[in-house]
Structure 1
Amino acid sequence: MHTPSSPSGAGEAGGPAVRVGALVPLTRPGWVEAGRHLLAGLELATREVNDAGGIGGRPLELVVRDTAADPRRAEAAVDELAGLGVAALAGEYHSVVARAAAARADALGLPFLCSSAVLDALTERPTERVARLAPAQSRGWRVYADFLLDAGHRHLAVAAEPSVYWASGIRVLREHLAPRGGTVAELDMRALTPEAACDELAGHRATALLLLVGHPEPAVPIVTSVRRDPRLAGIMIGAPAGQPEFGAWADALGGDGAGIPFLRYLPERLGPLGTRVEAALRERLAEAPSFVAFEGYDTVAVLAEVLRAHGAGRARLAGGWPRVEVEGTRGLIRFSRVPGVGVWQWAWPPLQVADRDPARPDRFRVLHTG
């Protein structure tokens, strides 16, 4: 459990704080590095909102809870936060966890702005209370499939673990590649060691292996095994879920972690706001901020605007999603209804396929945009 104190400026007169619950994976088995970046963005934006006068003179306060990538823990946190009187929920990185949190928030009448999770079916039924900044998985993974097709990869293998998220991604890939003569073969990493997966892969006609597994285990050992296997010298490794975005990937793999394309949600060039926020996040994190940190910042920027316009009442706040128009770090944010997605969706977040430059693994290359 983590509840940071209110940022500077939060103690000014003007009434009690407007509280927002923040769901963040801060401990294992959650993706801790992603959680740290998400929280850095949330906290930076909260500090700036308060330095600019808060919400109608009232300070904005984050009440942070660690989900640890556990859906049941997230549901319990939603219940607790609702009882504490938060106006809305924000955050979360893991799609399956965000889905559980969204369902519980919807049942309690609590608005939820999801920062980073991409699973299309974030809720089982359409709801007015939930909105999302990250692009739906079907859009992002189709862009990734287009990149693979353009690069000549029609026959894929996926090293996969059981998960609704991974299964959804495989379905998107299959549906997009099949009309173009593409195939997707699955390697079940519950049953295979990294070395055995290499043996299986050597017998396939796949030209690319996609990592649909957790980080660092078993993703890092799989990459190491493939890179060391002379039979697989010509195979491309990909990681659509974004594992190579974070510094821990480069720390664990060095040069072996370069040249592995992944999805990230950034424009090719940041505008003035994004450039300023990038510098502030870099100072806060002591490293280059990932796209997840920008998602955190934009989450609070949107919530602050909706709170100013509609007040802290939950019903009025949830009714504000379709009227949002906020300049975020990565472009103008508006929400709309997208076919197949039951929540209010920022329909056009920027998308890149990028990798770490083999010549300089600390530098990213943009390979494709969509």
Structure 2
Amino acid sequence: MTTSPSSSGAERTDGSSVQIGALVPLTRPGWVEAGRHLLAGLETAVHEVNDAGGIAGRPLELVVRDTAADPQRAAAAVDELARLGVAALAGEYHSVVARAAAARADALGLPYLCSSAVLDALTEEPTEWVARLCPAQSHGWQIYADFLLAAGHSRIAVAAQPSVYWASGARILRDCLAPRGGTVIELDMGALAPTAVCDELVDNRATALLLLTGHPEPAVSIVKSVRRDHRLTEIMIGAPAGQPEFAEWASLLGDDGSAIPFLRYLPERLSPLGARVETALRERLGETPSFVAFEGYDTVAVLADLLRSHGTDRARIAQSWPRVAVEGTRGQIRFSRAPGISVWQWAWTPVQVVDRDPAEPDRFRILHAS
């Protein structure tokens, strides 16, 4: 199990620090860039907590484990972190991986605050041990469906890979669009080459193509194929899962990566706290922080508040989810029971549909907000 350096020094299990276990994808096939931003947010918040005196005078420490987008590896990490005595778990970006971590945390009685994974069914049954900061997929993707209809798209193709997450996304889109006259055409990327996608789009008279695929491949190859097909100059490419959020997207695709709308979980204007944290994150990352970095920061802010108020007893932490009231970088964070969601949920963080500006690909345009 890979361990990255703790943000407050070497790992300690002698009780001198208060420890949070952090699950982060730091190697392939995990989305490494997302993992790097998530970890930067977690570490920035830990640094600020310790500068302010830590937890009742004890330093807060991250014990980081690389999940590499592997559910089994994540579940094993949860077992290890529980044995090490962490007070709570934080993090993870990939939904299927977070689901495995949440199942183990629930079984072991270990509080877990999920930072970035949106799959509605994060646990099979309702649990008191798990809470989530990011919006559920059904919430964010419904907003994306509203955007598609408002933009005049009713015949929408989805290039999808086999996955619980992608299948859930396609189902949400279909359920949202069908009652309002929309059609969702599913293209199986387990059977189609990127170039064959173009013929399918023409044959099905689709006006939009959504990338429900991994990054960088096959998403990058699909975009390149569509952009170069003269028959598809008017088609809109979209990526609700957020692939264009990170700098690697622009570096791999250049101008072809612009004008591809995706979901981002940021307010239109950051609060003073959000602006201050943005500056700190930018310095740590050496680039513009993504919404994932803010999710990481807010995760530690919530857990630090609970640890100050309730100590390190795991049961007391889990019992306190409904009493959380923390000012985060993107608004006041409170948890409640949202319909159809099995974990304690912040309902809801701000949601935007944005894209990279074709005239200035490093700048994001807000196309729709909720």
Q: For this structure pair, what is the TM-score category when the shorter chain's length is used for normalisation?
A: over 0.9
CA distance in 2, matches of 1:189, 1:173: 18
1:146-189 CA deviation, whole Å, 9 max, x = no partner? 00000000110000000000000011100000110111001111
Count of residue pairs the alignment pairs up: 366
- Residue 5 (structure 1) aligns with: 6
- Residue 221 (structure 1) aligns with: 221
1:131-155 CA deviation, whole Å, 9 max, x = no partner? 0000000000000000000000011
1:23-71 CA deviation, whole Å, 9 max, x = no partner? 0000000000000000000000001000101111111110000000000
Measured after TM superposition, the shift of residue 200 of structure 1 is 1.1
Measured after TM superposition, the shift of residue 126 of structure 1 is 0.2
CA distance in 1, matches of 2:62, 2:324: 21
Measured after TM superposition, the shift of residue 16 of structure 1 is 1.6
Measured after TM superposition, the shift of residue 6 of structure 1 is 4.2
1:319-366 CA deviation, whole Å, 9 max, x = no partner? 110000000000000000000001000001000000000000010000
- Long gaps (5+) in structure 2: none
CA distance in 2, matches of 1:307, 1:4: 22
So what's the TM-score if we normalise by structure 2? 0.98
The root-mean-square deviation of aligned C-alpha atoms, in Å, is: 1.1
CA distance in 2, matches of 1:17, 1:155: 55
Contact 1:3 1:62 (C-alpha < 8 Å) held by counterparts? no
- Long gaps (5+) in structure 1: none
Query: Runs of at least 4 residues of structure 1 off by over 6 A?
Result: none
- Residue 145 (structure 1) aligns with: 145
- Residue 364 (structure 2) aligns with: 364
Please state if 1:342 is matched with 2:342: yes
- Residue 274 (structure 1) aligns with: 274
CA distance in 2, matches of 1:207, 1:344: 38
- Residue 164 (structure 2) aligns with: 164
The residue type paired with residue 181 of structure 1 is: G
Describe the SS at the equivalent of 1:335.
coil
Please state if 1:203 is matched with 2:203: yes
The residue type paired with residue 2 of structure 1 is: T
- Residue 314 (structure 1) aligns with: 314
CA distance in 1, matches of 2:37, 2:177: 33
Contact 2:6 2:64 (C-alpha < 8 Å) held by counterparts? no
CA distance in 1, matches of 2:297, 2:219: 28
Describe the SS at the equivalent of 2:296.
helix
- Residue 188 (structure 2) aligns with: 188
Describe the SS at the equivalent of 2:21.
strand
The residue type paired with residue 88 of structure 1 is: A
The residue type paired with residue 4 of structure 2 is: T
Measured after TM superposition, the shift of residue 3 of structure 1 is 3.4
- Residue 239 (structure 1) aligns with: 239
Describe the SS at the equivalent of 2:20.
strand
CA distance in 1, matches of 2:282, 2:300: 18
The residue type paired with residue 209 of structure 1 is: L
The residue type paired with residue 272 of structure 1 is: P
CA distance in 1, matches of 2:310, 2:44: 23
The residue type paired with residue 190 of structure 2 is: R
Please state if 1:109 is matched with 2:109: yes
Measured after TM superposition, the shift of residue 2 of structure 1 is 2.1
The residue type paired with residue 220 of structure 2 is: V
- Residue 292 (structure 2) aligns with: 292
